[in-house]
């Protein structure tokens, strides 16, 4: 079994040691499970293409399904896209930080394996302060595909992660049970009103009312 880390951001010396361990693992292509603002996700360095490929293999995820990423502040969005239209900015102002994943045209530097060749990338600034502190401490964004085997249930705790998957991970970051019972909402802002690709924590009505 991988090591379980329980981060306490009120105890900086302990957290710094654990964050250094996670950073080193991720640099070497490691895969971690960690709490997002919805469920537990699987994190790798999104710019490490071999690590992303490993993530697909571990999850048995179809290669045509792209993987979204989490950032710890809005400025990191520039790592993934230079195309932020007025519709996207309106969504960002209203719902970030929060469980809203927005689809953007990806920069050429974003690995094709991450976008599944679509040329687009889903990005979220999570509502969880713990998750943002984790991302900031690691020093770069993380992938955030659900910590399950493809098609399986979204895990609310580390114990919900299938053993066949958990046993192949490098580290598990424990922050207790997930706070949500639904995934993030996914929107494509290329049209106005934006196209809702998946309704989750943020309702269709909340998004539509922003553009009415």
Domain ranges for the chain: 3-210
CATH topology of domain 3-210: DHBP synthase (3.90.870)
Q: Is the pLDDT of residue 182 over 90?
A: yes
Contact 103, 115 (CB under 8 A): no
Cis bond upstream, residue 26 (ω within 30): no
- Cα 191 vs. chain centroid, distance in angstroms? 24
Contact 35, 9 (CB under 8 A): no
Confidence band for 121, pLDDT divided at 50, 70 and 90: very high
Q: What is the pLDDT of residue 14?
A: 66
Q: Is the pLDDT of residue 10 over 90?
A: no
Phi-psi group of 160: left, alpha or beta (phi > 0 → left; psi -120 to 50 → alpha; rest → beta): alpha
Beta bridge partners of 103: 122
Please give the mean pLDDT across all residues of the chain.
95
Radius of gyration of the chain (CA): 16
Q: What is the pLDDT of residue 11?
A: 67
Q: Is the pLDDT of residue 46 over 90?
A: yes
Q: What is the pLDDT of residue 190?
A: 94
Q: What is the pLDDT of residue 56?
A: 97
């Amino acid at each position: 079994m991988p090591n379980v880390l329980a981060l306490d951001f009120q105890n900086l010396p302990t957290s710094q040691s654990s964050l250094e361990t996670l950073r080193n693992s991720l640099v070497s292509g490691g895969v971690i499970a960690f709490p997002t603002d919805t469920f537990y996700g699987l994190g790798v360095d999104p710019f490490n293409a071999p690590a992303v490929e490993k993530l697909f293999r571990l999850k048995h995820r179809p290669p045509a399904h792209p993987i979204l990423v989490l950032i710890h502040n809005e400025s990191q969005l520039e790592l993934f896209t230079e195309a932020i239209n007025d519709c996207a900015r309106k969504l960002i102002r209203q719902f970030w930080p929060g469980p809203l994943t927005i689809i953007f045209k990806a920069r050429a530097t974003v690995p094709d394996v991450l976008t599944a060749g679509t040329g687009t990338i889903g990005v979220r600034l999570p509502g969880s302060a713990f998750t943002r502190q984790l991302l900031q401490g690691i020093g770069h964004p993380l992938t955030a595909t659900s910590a399950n085997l493809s098609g399986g249930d979204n895990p609310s705790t580390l114990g919900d992660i299938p053993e066949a998957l958990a046993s192949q991970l490098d580290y598990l970051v424990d922050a207790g049970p997930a706070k949500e019972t639904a995934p993030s909402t996914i929107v494509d802002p290329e049209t106005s009103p934006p196209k809702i690709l998946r309704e989750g924590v943020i309702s269709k009505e909340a998004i539509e009312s922003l553009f009415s």
